[in-house]
Structures are given as structure tokens and as C-alpha cells.
Amino acid sequence: MDAILRAIVEPRRRDILQLVQHQEKTSGDIAAHFPEVTRPAISQHLKVLEDAGLLAMRKEGTKRLYQAVPERLADLKRYLEAFWDDRLQLLAREAETEERRSSLPDDQRN
Amino acid sequence: MDAILRAIVEPRRRDILQLVQHQEKTSGDIAAHFPEVTRPAISQHLKVLEDAGLLAMRKEGTKRLYQAVPERLADLKRYLEAFWDDRLQLLAREAETEERRSSLPDDQRN
DNA sequence: TGCTTAATGAAGCGTCAACTTACATTACGG
DNA sequence: CCGTAATGTAAGTTGACGCTTCATTAAGCA
């Protein structure tokens, strides 16, 4: 999940994701949208996205076609949903903290 | 919005956010949850989170109490919702690309 | 086979950010 | 006042990463 978050933080990678969200595109096609950087740079971004599971690749001859994997975005969405609401982690941490405090006299609490 | 994304990508900051999501805590209290790093490191994280608008701070004597600002998380949520579905950016880019291609002979297309 | 096209791999560079140590600030309490 | 507690700031180090240039792989085709 961390890989997904790191992947989508880079603005260029978010742009790439948008590009192939609804249709496959070749590496060169994608690179053509970003004249401000070189092709290898795009290639590296594609690798990061693919490693994070956000992109699927299939070869067709000498071309490589990339497309977004909506399931992974759904994963991220679910994770964030849980992040907003989930108190479990918080409560676990609180439990041990409170326990430690209760066993100390008042003047040792901070 | 980029600031929010960058802020929550750092795992330690996500943990901090969870800690103060439902109750205020002092800087020292928060730092006590992360024995693996020093207090100044936490202080710096708090600043990043506060600058991103994700944390509110109020002073109480010499202490500083931090708490999450749920509105900003809601902003992020809305942004991501839009990100999944929004085709506007994509369509804009497609339009200019397709136009450029159609005006070129076949052998100049990539 | 050898040339061309599509794309990645590898090495190196510059920048950024998370961290540490040391110092400064601010407020309370005797 | 002065000391101490709570916290932030400054400066410096280090590792990660996005980028470029140059080299390499792989497929299609004469």
C-alpha cells in the first residue's frame, strides 16, 4: 500500500495514470505527452507504476501497451476510507499509553 | 492539494495523524509514541502537517496541543474521488494529440 | 544477416527531505 | 529574577529519487 501511495504522489505519475486510465497506450505515446522530459524518464515512471500494481503492460511486437489497473486504485480508495474512520490503531496505542499513565502518581504524568 | 498528498505519504506522519485524529495531544505526548526518532524530528513532522492544514495547534502554557483537522482530510478525499473518475484532463490531452496525428502522413506517426 | 524502430537498462548528477545534535525561545513556579 | 520544563529552530549529514546521456535488448523487415 505504501508503494501505491508513493507512486501517486509524484504528479507526473498521476498524469500518466490519467492518460491510460480508460485506454491502453504505448510507452512512446505516453512519452509524447510529456515533451519536457525524456523517454527514459517516462519509462522509469512506468516501471514504478507497474511495480505498484497500478499499471498493466502487454507486449505487442516491439511495442508495449500500458493500461491502468482500476482494482489497485480501488484498493487505495478503500485504504484511505479506512484511514479516515478507523480508530483501531489509535485505540490500541491509547490503551498502552493510558495503562502506563494510570500506574504512575499524578506528578509523574506529563 | 499537493501539500496534503506529500504530507500523508510519509508513514510517520500518517501515524501522527491517526494519533490526534480524535483527541488533542501535546507535542511531547506524540513524540513519546515514536521512541525510534528524536523529538525534533516529530516537531518537524508536526510543522509539515500543520502547514498542510491537516493539524490545528493551540498553546496552553508552555505546552502545544495538536489535533487533526477533519475538513482537510475531507478535501483530500474529494480530490481523490475526482481523480478516479475525471476524464476531463485526459480528454483535453487526447484532443490535441489526435489532431496533431491526423495532420501527419502515416509514416510520420509513431 | 544487418538495419531500423520501440523501448528499457545503467551510470552518474543534482536536489530534496528526514534525520541528528546543538542551541534558542517561551512560560511557569519558587 | 532564575531555573526548569516544553517545545521549536538551525545547521549539517545522508539516502532516496527524478532526471539525463549513453548503451543495450528485442522485434520486424529488406
Report the pLDDT value the prediction gives residue A73, as an integer from 0 to 100: 87
* Annotated domain spans of chain B: 1-103
* Cell numbers 508513514: residue: B11
CA atoms within 13 A on the CB side of A77: 14
Give the CATH class of B1-103: mainly alpha
User: CA dist B69 to A74, B1, B17, B57, B58, Å?
Assistant: 25, 14, 9, 10, 13
A19 CA to C5 C1', in Å? 23
Q: Are B25 and A94 in contact (CB under 8 A)?
A: no
The yes-or-no verdict on residue B36 having pLDDT over 50 is yes
Q: Which three cell numbers stand for residue B17?
A: 495523524
Check B83 against A14: CB less than 8 A apart.
yes
For residue A91, pLDDT beyond 70: no
- % of chain A with per-residue pLDDT over 70: 76
pLDDT the model gives residue B104: 35
**Other Cβ atoms within 10 Å of A35 Cβ, number:** 7
Is residue B59 over pLDDT 70? yes
Task: Mean pLDDT check: name the lowest of A75-84, B25-34, B60-69.
Answer: A75-84
Check if residue B104 sits with its Cβ under 7 angstroms from strand C. Answer: no
Mutate to test the interface with A, among B6, B20, B21 (most CBs of A within 10 A): B21
Identify the burial level of B13 via C-beta atoms within 10 angstroms of its C-beta, where 0-12 means exposed, 13-18 middle and 19 or more buried.
buried
pLDDT, tens digit (0-9, with 9 covering 90-100), for A40-62 = 999 999 999 999 999 999 999 99
Q: What is the reported pLDDT for B94?
A: 46
* pLDDT of A39 higher than 80: yes
* Residue A103 neighbours by CB under 8 Å, 6+ apart: none
Residues 6+ apart with CB under 8 A from B80: A76, A77, A80
Greater pLDDT, A35 or A107? A35
Give the distance, in angstroms, between the CA of residue B41 and the centroid of all CA atoms in the same chain. 18
Structure confidence at residue A103 (pLDDT): 42
Residue B92 contacts A where some CB pair is shorter than 8 Å: no
For position A55, what pLDDT does the model report? 97
Which amino acid, A46?
A: L
pLDDT of residue A80: 81
A46 and A16 Cβ atoms separated by less than 8 Å: yes
Nucleotides of D under 7 A from a protein CB: 5-10, 17-23, 26-28
Q: What is the mean pLDDT of residues A52-74?
A: 95
